[in-house]
């Protein structure tokens, strides 16, 4: 080997590297998917493949085409937020006219209870029932039309809907008080609750009817004899400053800690 000349072994290794390198580049060019990189670092064709997935739920607008009456009734009722397929199941095949069978008409209590069984975590105000207590022998649709579920008769008690509040109140010092003791409830509330919201007392004077120092516990407060209970008294002029009662005491569980 002469100095200044590239050594043989480097030429040999270099040749192999060149061969491997070039073939890898050529192979790579050949195998990269055609649409790769068109829209970003991915196969643009994949978007179309994903978009072509088969639709299962037709959407309630599709139901409108044939079942206008039911949809209209539903849309005017408390079930207006439901989609037809929430209860009747995926019906795209039915909507396109290709299904051999009609979508199911659920008749048991199970489906309704999926949403309306009492669960403490459900939002206050959402209508919930305790399965065992609420007409256990009847099917839901005997009293409630699923497309317009407002009951034809008023619920027996407030806890039918306001279970979460009733549950708290039942173990509180205010347990003996009926809801109507504090809330003025218009009869329409039982039929159209949200458009006839009961009045909530918020003045200090209202609580003072029982709890103000120097005021005798009423023997007949809106029909309830309260003298049997030990009612805590406070001087409303000094107690709590300018705060309203409910800012510290939750009326449905008025702990004084």
**Residues making contact with another protein (CB under 8 A):** 1, 7-10, 12-13, 15-17, 20, 24, 28, 31-33, 36-37, 39-43, 46-47, 49-57, 59-60, 79, 81-83, 85-86, 90, 114-115, 117-123, 126
CA distance 20 to 183: 86
- Do 160 and 129 contact (CB within 8 A), yes or no? yes
**Residue 29 to residue 24: CA distance in whole angstroms:** 9
Question: CB 199 → another protein: shortest distance, Å?
Answer: 23
| 137: DSSP letter | T
101 is written with which tokens?
A: 């069978």
Identity of the residue, 82 or 234, whose beta carbon is nearer to another protein in the bound complex: 82
State whether the Cα torsion 36-38-39-44 is positive or negative.
negative
Task: Compute the distance between CA of residue 53 and CA of residue 44 in angstroms, rounded to an integer.
Answer: 16
What is d(CA 19, CA 242) in angstroms, rounded to the nearest whole number? 89
Check: CB of residue 197 under 8 Å from CB of residue 205. Answer: no
Residue with tokens 């005997």: 142
- Which CB sits closer to another protein, 84 or 177? 84
Q: DSSP label at 96?
A: T
Minimum CB separation from another protein for residue 57, in Å?
5
Which lies closer to another protein via its Cβ, residue 54 or residue 237?
Answer: 54
The DSSP secondary-structure symbol of 151 reads -
CB of 99 to another protein, least distance (A): 14
Cβ at position 95, least distance to another protein in Å = 11
Tell me whether residue 92 or residue 181 sits nearer to another protein (CB atom): 92
In the complex, minimum distance from the CB of residue 79 to another protein, in angstroms, rounded to a whole number: 8
Name the residue nearer to another protein (CB basis): 197 or 215: 197
With respect to another protein, which residue has the nearer C-beta, 42 or 229? 42
Least Å distance, CB 107 to another protein, is 18
Least distance from another protein to the Cβ atom of residue 192, Å: 19
Q: Which is nearer to another protein, 168 or 224 (CB)?
A: 168
Cβ contacts of residue 204 below 8 Å, gap of 6+?
236, 244, 245
Lookup: tokens for 18: 């060149």
């Amino acid at each position: 080997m002469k100095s200044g000349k590239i050594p043989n072994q480097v030429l040999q290794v270099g040749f192999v590297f060149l061969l491997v390198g070039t073939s890898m580049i050529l192979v790579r060019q050949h195998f990269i998917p055609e649409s790769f990189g068109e829209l970003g670092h991915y196969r643009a064709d994949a978007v179309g493949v994903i978009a072509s997935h088969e639709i299962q739920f037709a959407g309630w607008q599709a139901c409108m085409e044939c079942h206008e009456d039911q949809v209209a009734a539903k849309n005017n009722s408390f079930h207006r937020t439901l989609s037809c397929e929430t209860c009747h199941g995926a019906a795209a095949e039915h909507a396109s006219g290709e299904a051999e069978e009609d979508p199911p008409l659920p008749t048991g209590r199970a489906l309704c209870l999926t949403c309306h069984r009492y669960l403490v975590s459900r939002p206050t105000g959402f209508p919930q029932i305790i399965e065992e207590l609420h007409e256990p022998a009847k099917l839901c649709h005997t009293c409630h039309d699923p497309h317009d579920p407002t009951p034809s008769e008023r619920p027996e008690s407030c806890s039918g809907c306001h279970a979460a509040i009733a549950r708290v109140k039942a173990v509180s010092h205010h347990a003996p008080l009926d809801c109507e003791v504090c809330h003025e409830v218009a009869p329409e509330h039982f039929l159209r609750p949200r458009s006839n919201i009961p009045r909530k007392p918020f003045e200090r004077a209202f609580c003072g009817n029982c709890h103000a120092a120097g005021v005798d516990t009423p023997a007949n407060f809106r029909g309830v004899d309260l003298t049997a209970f030990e009612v805590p008294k406070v001087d409303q002029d000094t107690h709590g400053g300018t705060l309203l009662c409910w800012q510290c005491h939750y009326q449905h569980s008025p702990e004084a800690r």
